[in-house]
Amino acid sequence: MTNITVMGAAEARVPADQADVFASVASRDESREAALQAANAAHAELVARAKELVAEGAAIEYVADPVSTYSNTWRDENGNTVVEHQAHASVQIVLTALDRVGEVAAQLTESGADVRVQWELSSALRDEWTRNLRSAAVQDARTAAEDFSAAIGAPALTLLSLRDGRSGGGGPSPLGDARFARAAAAPPEVTVGQISVSVQVEATFTAE
């Protein structure tokens, strides 16, 4: 009787069902109050648009970060002290209407925001694919064990233990993380990104 320990794995590329749209605005001014006022106004506009998208059913939620501020100080060529105040506002919008990603990103960009889109899988979809892949990973492990048992002339296999290895998803495909140029004439064509979901198991069999 011989123990055989093998690894099994399975992976799939799954089209995203969510898009995280990150929009940020920065303001700079010699006056801290002016920089902060501009950032607060931009923040309010971003939040208002996010609320509209949620109300329309195009988004499921949004996250509005607090407005952040900091200052830079340096000396100019004449040795005078120069102080510049900066303020930043950012909002994340979780879109489920994927056919509107290009439109929303273009609108936010045209309003003056820097926009980045990241494709994601919802927890429910990721869990569904993970469950399916676990079965495939176990079968992959059994196939490997059968190869080893055949090599040693002990074809009867009994599973002794099974341990979950790493499981999770990789990042989006190259098209999954995109930045949009400012002032687009029309919403750009957007291809939904794919997410890699993988499962790995460790199995020990007895061969006899």
* pLDDT given for residue 46 in this prediction: 96
CB 97 within 8 A of CB 125: no
When the pLDDT of each residue in the chain is averaged and rounded to a whole number, the result is 88
The per-residue b/e assignment along 100-132, b for 16 or more CB within 10 angstroms, e otherwise, is bbbbbbbbbbeeebebbbbbbbeeebbeebbee
Q: What burial letters (b/e) apply to 173-198, b meaning 16+ CB within 10 Å? A: beebebebeeeeeeeeebebbbbebb
Query: Which portions of the chain are predicted below pLDDT 70?
Result: 166-188
The model carries a pTM of: 0.76
